[in-house]
Amino acid sequence: MDNDVSAGSTTTSTLGQLALGLTLLAFGLGHTRVIDGVTAADSVSLATYVGGIALFVAGLFAFRDHDAFTGTAFSALGALWFTWGVTSDAQVSANAAGLFLLLFALVALSLTVAASGASTLVRGTYGLLFVGLLLLAIGQFGDSSGLAKVAGWFAAAGGLLAWYGATAALANWPTALPGRAAGRGVTATG
């Protein structure tokens, strides 16, 4: 590869969204237990290597491409998945697990708020990740498996959005919702 040619942040973003989507989908479906015999623990390898390492590396490439938001998002989420994956069989209290999830829910909230200039798919992914992690944290604090299942559906939906966004970018599918006509008193500038 020529040193003067960069892969570009679009490629990095697509790779990162695909890694995030697959990890979130596996993690979420594991929590829902909708597939017989599949739990969140079954997504540990995927979370460690695809969600952790690949996403973190995609974040580093985004930083190289001067895309601070994507670099921050992918690096932080890569750290989340790697930490969750390598410590999944560690014996910690429910409150410690809840705190871990709550702290990363706050990271997801920051990403959601900071993604105001990003696509609807990106904002939706981070928003659903925030809700999923928040519900999982509350479920850990309150020992509620029912809340964990609901959280799993939010995480799975976020994974589907991220996966669709990556697939759409690769296949040149639409990624934006059609705009609506401006109503009375509404201008293009707001």
pLDDT in tens, 92-132: 999 999 999 999 999 999 999 999 888 899 999 999 999 99
Task: Note the pLDDT tens digit of each residue in 4-29.
Answer: 333 345 788 899 999 999 999 999 99
In a domain, residue 154? The reply is yes
Per-residue confidence (pLDDT) for residue 180, from 0 to 100? 54
Task: Note the pLDDT tens digit of each residue in 48-100.
Answer: 999 999 999 999 999 999 999 999 999 999 999 999 999 988 889 999 999 99
Per-residue confidence (pLDDT) for residue 63, from 0 to 100? 95
In a domain, residue 120? The reply is yes
Task: Note the pLDDT tens digit of each residue in 148-164.
Answer: 999 999 999 999 999 99
* Closest residue by Cα to residue 136 from 152, 160, 156, 158: 152
In a domain, residue 183? The reply is no
3-state secondary structure of 3: coil
Residue 33 falls in which region: left (phi positive, over 0), alpha (psi -120 to 50) or beta:
left
In a domain, residue 186? The reply is no
Look up the CATH number of the domain holding residue 72. 1.25.40.600
| End-to-end C-alpha distance for the chain, whole angstroms | 44
Structural domain of 40? 8-171
Helices 8-32/55-64 angle, 10° precision: 160
In a domain, residue 181? The reply is no
Count of structural domains, the chain: 1
In a domain, residue 162? The reply is yes
Mean pLDDT of 122-144: 96
DSSP 61-84: HHHHTT-HHHHHHHHHHHHHHHHH
